[in-house]
Structure 1
Amino acid sequence: MIGRYADRMTFDVILKRMLARVPNSVDKREGSVIYDALAPAAAELAKTYMELDVVMDETFVDTASLQYLILRCKERGVPVLGETAAIIQAETRPVMLELQVGTRFRCGAVNYAVKEKMSPGLYRLESETPGTEGNQYTGTLIPIQSVNGLQSAEIKGVLIPGENGDTTETLRERYYASIDGESFGGNVADYKETVNALHGVGGVKVYPVWNGGGTVKLTVISSDYTVPSEELIAAVQQEIDPQANQGEGLGLAPIGHSVTVAGVKDEPVSITTRLTFIDGWRWEDAREQVELAVRDYFAELAAAWADADATVIRIAQIETRILALSCVLDIADTALNGQTKNVQITTDHIPSLKKIEVVV
């Protein structure tokens, strides 16, 4: 029989079956001795069937909760990724001011602590809050404690994005990915699994034998699906195959593999379109909403970049998303980079919005 036990083996069903085994010569009505004796046992059995449903759910990866999914992942050696802290670059004035390691700053709701000096006026700071909350690209840093002589401190960019820990669904996806592409000894699946587990990496494309036998190229995207910093690229290179000893197996790459790590690049896209606005709206008022809708679409393309054979910007998608805005009545004549056709992004590039021009 197919279905959940608790749906079939209810209290009434179980009690009816138990009473059916009692001779009809005995009073089996509700309130009778035999009824009152069997009813508590039937209730306990019904509860047992409900708990059996839970056991069945937790047994299989497709329905297991996070606690038991972690145990199934351990069986396959799939690691559970925890939260990581963002590493940012900060610029201070005056440049000759020396900050001590551990000096704390605040931007918005996030605290950062100085980890090391990079160069005069430039410091590497780490978010005290793990996860994506520390990935603030710009903003003024306010010192938590007094810093004599400090004139200003600004976030210049994210060097290594912070990442949220695994959820039930992300862990389940990685479990299935470990089955779909069995990783072994430096094959493509092995590189993907290894690189994706590194702090700050959101995806990777693997190009084996890209420059002759024994060579491998890895193109990575940051965990916030933007162009990775040079520091992140260097960190991945060091982990996988240090440049000073390429091919010697001193990193995670197998002996004999000379690995080159690169990052995705932006491909600017200009959009022209003809918009008809709802009464009371003008382009100046709607610009922010329209640009945000396009950037959200581009962000989705970037998030899917690692698993896509090709990245195509589709005019239909852009028009659909802009038309969904409450301020837009109609849209027509949309062109990308001056052409009224879809644009396929260059390999190892992700789209970025250069500008939107609205034709009146």
Structure 2
Amino acid sequence: METEQDIQNRMLSKIGEEHDKSTGSFIYDATKPAAIEFETKNKEIAAVQDKLDIEKLTDKELERFIYQRTGIERKRATKATEEVIISGSQGSSISKGELVGTDTINFVSLEDKVINESGLMHVLVECEKPGKIGNVPASSITKFPVTLPGLINVYNPRPFTNGYEAESDTDLRQRYYDKLQKPGKAGNKYHYLEWAKEVTGVGDARVVPRFNGPLTMKVVIIDANKQPASKELIQNVREHIENEMPFGVEELRVSTAAAVPINLSVSLTLADGYTEETVKAHIKTNGIEYLQQIAFKTSFVSYAKIGALIIASEGVLDYQNLLVNGGATNIPIGNEEVAIMGGVNE
């Protein structure tokens, strides 16, 4: 885009040399305000043009652009929910809205429950905050942020896995492109792909037509955290597709991708001030990010890229003897598999 000075120089170049065009001259000063205004208008025009380019839109503007053209809406963040077990004296209770938690995250009771003669009660709880922050490991909920009379202990027997971040701009934009470039029509495979990816919590999907003969369809999904999908999410996808699909399909199978753990063995040279445990955590974080990027996108985990993410991890000066799942080669990932981060030197 032309700057104010570029515009003024172009204007001055159209004026004959017999006129004084030096800085401070009448002609120079007369063209200066016009150049400033032209630059301002050019910026305004460029801003309008940018709003017609989906690659330059973000947040609410991107949502509005896509919804107006296709009806596609951004999938919202969800709060992680799961059951906890609370022990205490018979007759003690917990009410909706009362809290249990980890050391740092609170979960809200969704039920009114009373402890029976067993001394236990099972209570459905929900994270206070939406997103993956609520995806906590099993046995990590052990606190009562506020003392509740008669209640002694609490724990979650299963991990929480269904807290999802809001759909990213990148993923929303990709669904828009898929709608235009791979249109779902009359129950073709792209229709099943579209239906699966409409469900909140689905990160990606693959469709296998005629997997068990004519008039059969298989949909393989991963969740929004690019992990194997839960039974609840699988059921949600199945119900949504059944409500949308045409008559005549004899068998619809919805399943999750099988997990392929990626385990690393590596000799690390650490920077001063770092412990191996801290650096391993950084490597795992980078590994998770890489595996999320390639989930359902590539057919292998790159040995070279694993090495690159290790050397890029905070606290790593160098590494040697890297093995990925026991070897020094790429790890193949099948069409119905998803790579997940395993251990580092474990």
TM score, norm. by length of structure 1? 0.74
The equivalent residue for 2:137 is 137
Query: 1: distance between equivalents of 2:284 and 2:125?
Result: 32
Tell me, yes or no, if the aligned pair for 1:114 and 1:123 is still in contact at 8 Å: yes
Q: Are 1:252 and 2:238 an aligned pair?
A: no
Pair 131,83 (structure 1): closer, same or farther in 2 beyond 3 Å? farther
Q: Are 1:47 and 2:40 an aligned pair?
A: yes
Q: Secondary structure at the match of 2:123?
A: strand
Letter in 2 for 1:112: F
TM superposition shift of 1:75:
3.9
TM superposition shift of 1:277:
4.0
TM superposition shift of 1:195:
1.8
Query: 2: distance between equivalents of 1:299 and 1:29?
Result: 58
Q: Which is worse superposed, 43-52 or 66-75?
A: 66-75
CA offsets per residue over residues 135-167 of structure 1, 9 Å max, x none?
333522544554332222234322422222443
Matches within 5 A, 1:23-172: 40-94=33-87, 99-107=94-102, 110-116=105-111, 121-138=121-138, 139-140=140-141, 142-155=143-156, 156-167=158-169, 169-172=170-173
Query: 2: distance between equivalents of 1:328 and 1:107?
Result: 35
The equivalent residue for 2:217 is 216
Q: Secondary structure at the match of 1:216?
A: strand
Query: 2: distance between equivalents of 1:125 and 1:134?
Result: 11
TM superposition shift of 1:77:
0.9
Tell me, yes or no, if the aligned pair for 1:276 and 1:331 is still in contact at 8 Å: yes
CA offsets per residue over residues 206-234 of structure 1, 9 Å max, x none?
11111222221111111112222222222
Q: Which is worse superposed, 188-197 or 262-271?
A: 262-271
Q: Secondary structure at the match of 1:47?
A: helix
CA offsets per residue over residues 226-276 of structure 1, 9 Å max, x none?
2222222222222222xxxxxxxxx13233334221112223455555x36
1:316 corresponds, among 290, 304, 307, to 304
Query: 2: distance between equivalents of 1:210 and 1:307?
Result: 21
The alignment-based identity, stated in percent, is 20
TM superposition shift of 1:179:
2.6
Pair 324,227 (structure 1): closer, same or farther in 2 beyond 3 Å? same
The equivalent residue for 1:348 is 336
TM superposition shift of 1:35:
7.4
Query: 1: distance between equivalents of 2:312 and 2:24?
Result: 64
TM superposition shift of 1:16:
3.5
Query: 1: distance between equivalents of 2:282 and 2:341?
Result: 10
Give the RMSD, CA atoms, in angstroms.
4.1
Letter in 2 for 1:133: I
CA offsets per residue over residues 29-82 of structure 1, 9 Å max, x none?
887888777654554343222211212222222334544433431343152315
Query: 2: distance between equivalents of 1:117 and 1:219?
Result: 37
Tell me, yes or no, if the aligned pair for 1:271 and 1:335 is still in contact at 8 Å: yes
The equivalent residue for 2:206 is 205
Q: Are 1:305 and 2:295 an aligned pair?
A: yes
TM superposition shift of 1:302:
4.5
Tell me, yes or no, if the aligned pair for 1:86 and 1:158 is still in contact at 8 Å: no
Query: 2: distance between equivalents of 1:301 and 1:147?
Result: 42
Pair 80,210 (structure 1): closer, same or farther in 2 beyond 3 Å? same
Pair 93,43 (structure 1): closer, same or farther in 2 beyond 3 Å? closer
The equivalent residue for 1:237 is 238
Tell me, yes or no, if the aligned pair for 1:131 and 1:162 is still in contact at 8 Å: yes
Question: Can you give the 5+ residue segments of structure 2 that lack an aligned partner in the other structure?
Answer: 114-119
TM superposition shift of 1:85:
2.2
Q: Secondary structure at the match of 2:196?
A: helix
Tell me, yes or no, if the aligned pair for 1:132 and 1:164 is still in contact at 8 Å: no
Query: 1: distance between equivalents of 2:27 and 2:324?
Result: 81
1:289 corresponds, among 261, 270, 279, to 279
Query: 2: distance between equivalents of 1:330 and 1:160?
Result: 36
Question: Can you give the 5+ residue segments of structure 1 that lack an aligned partner in the other structure?
Answer: 242-250
TM score, norm. by length of structure 2? 0.76
Pair 49,352 (structure 1): closer, same or farther in 2 beyond 3 Å? closer
Query: 1: distance between equivalents of 2:22 and 2:317?
Result: 70
Q: Secondary structure at the match of 1:228?
A: coil
Q: Secondary structure at the match of 1:62?
A: helix
Tell me, yes or no, if the aligned pair for 1:84 and 1:162 is still in contact at 8 Å: yes
CA offsets per residue over residues 323-355 of structure 1, 9 Å max, x none?
555456441273634x55433234423334665
Task: Give the number of equivalent residue pairs.
Answer: 335
